[in-house]
Amino acid sequence: MSTPVHIVAGFLGAGKTTTIRAWMEQNAGRERAAVIVNDFGEAGIDGALLAAALPGDIPVVNIPGGCVCCTAPAGLAQAVATVLDTVRPDRVFIEPSGLARPQDVVDMLSRGPLRARVALGPTIVVVDPTLLAADGPPAALLDTQLEAADVLVLNRVDLAEAGVLAAFRARVASLWPGPARVLETTWGRLPADALDWPEGAGPRVRYTAVTDAPSTDGYRARSWVFPPEARFAWDALRALLSGTPGIARFKGLLAADVGWSRVDVAGGRVQLAGTAWRRDSRADVIVTAEVDLDAFAAAFAACVLPEGAAPAGAGVTLVGADGAPLLLGRDALAALPAQVPDVAAHVPGRTGVAVPLAEVLALAHPGPGARFVVVASDGMTTEPALVAGVDGAYLVHTVADGPVPADQGGPFRLLVRPGAPKSACAAVKGVVRIRVLAGE
């Protein structure tokens, strides 16, 4: 049976710990819960404060020393597994650092053995509107956290000035598609059903919803919602969107084989960008009357990959910006320049022969501004990263004169040197594909 897991995210000081504590107090005695806290610093202050504030029978596990989405994803995965094995809770709360990107934690929970053991609850993002008028979160981080919110909690609304609160409400109302639910509260108090998925949102979605809008001045519109496990083939989707005259507007938040992406078409130009959205795949299109909307809908649905279509095999498939694939086996990777005889020299605690990722990407002849994503055998796809910023990443292909063992993340594993810029890329086990994307 899967255990519900809830991510309670938000900027520093927004009230995440207060929200968890309030929920525990409201539901004392009804179920056994555990809390995993990620302190940015080594002192473990947040974890200690939360542990002191909660009843003694509620386990609090602390992961100190950095944001889990950057420096300790493996530690978080291990902490979740340990809590499930030893505590056997009815529910788990994860409070990442205030600087974390919630979608990275969602991706971690969706991977490997944890995928079968946890039931992802709504991602709760706590915001203190009073901070926005002072030294609030950086704009890019706030946008990312808002985009990832399934349930957005406006905390301390009693302390916010009327103008600030009204402005933030308007900002939330402008989000597309927006949170499944918006709550306003004080002292982090949430209603009893705040941890439940609203009907038709998140993992409950198991259908494709199609809605036609009434014709207006020769235009027609249609919308889709796909379940979160659906994966779109980017090459097929791009060909459809760029090859269909008469698309006045298309916007989508889609789980694709190039990662979770925002796809926009305006003025005939197809644009791709990363997104923090994880709830489902959805899209809206507006077309002229000359477009056969039913035929377009059928072609759009055909862009969904068959279940389990993540590539696997004896090598890593490098796909260039032109869509041409190149299968690189272990011998081919070992023949590339600048081999690293022992990756432990760059990534302490790891072992194996590796090749700098830059050498692999160079085979695709990336142009200026090119980005890339890395796909694992279980379908996990990294956020797009700049090819030009890839220093410090190594693809391990050999251990003890053979393939990298599966229990070490093989047969091919991507490692990142400690201290490398976060924008470089992410460590990935079971690498099966690297996709290069053309620069903007």
pLDDT digits (tens, 9 = 90+) for 130-169: 877 666 778 888 888 999 999 999 999 999 989 989 989 9
What confidence score (pLDDT) does residue 209 get? 59
DSSP-derived 3-state class of residue 17? helix
In 180-275, where does DSSP find H-type helix?
A: 234-242
Amino acid at 304: V
Count the neighbouring beta carbons within 10 Å of the beta carbon of residue 423. 12
User: Could you tell me the CA-to-CA distances from 417 to 228, 356, 424 in Å, in that order?
Assistant: 32, 11, 10
What confidence score (pLDDT) does residue 41 get? 43
| C-alpha 195: how far from chain center | 20
Residue ranges of the chain with per-residue pLDDT less than 50: 41-45, 71, 310-312
What confidence score (pLDDT) does residue 100 get? 83
> Do the Cβ atoms of 302 and 226 come closer than 8 Å?
no
What confidence score (pLDDT) does residue 397 get? 95
Instruction: For 205-301, give the CATH class.
Output: alpha beta
Give the relative orientation of helices 139-148 and 102-109 as an angle to the nearest 10 degrees: 40
Give the relative orientation of helices 293-301 and 234-242 as an angle to the nearest 10 degrees: 160
What confidence score (pLDDT) does residue 424 get? 58
Q: Where are the domains of the chain?
A: 3-184, 205-301, 315-437
The pair of structure tokens assigned to 13 is 């000081």
User: How many helices (H) and strands (E) in the chain?
Assistant: 12, 22
Q: What is the radius of gyration, based on Cα positions, of the chain?
A: 23
| Maximum C-alpha span of the chain | 68
Alpha-carbon gap, residue 296 to 22, rounded angstroms = 49
CATH pick for 3-184 out of 3.40.50.150, 3.40.50.300, 3.20.20.150, 3.40.50.720: 3.40.50.300
Which has the closest alpha carbon to 61: 71, 28, 78?
A: 78
What confidence score (pLDDT) does residue 210 get? 66
Amino acid at 57: D
Give all strands (DSSP E) within 324-409, no chain letters. Answer: 325-329, 353-356, 371-376, 385-386, 393-398
CATH pick for 315-437 out of 3.90.1170.50, 3.90.1200.10, 2.40.110.10, 3.90.420.10: 3.90.420.10
Alpha-carbon gap, residue 194 to 122, rounded angstroms = 9
What confidence score (pLDDT) does residue 364 get? 92
The pair of structure tokens assigned to 97 is 């650092």
The whole-model pTM stands at: 0.77
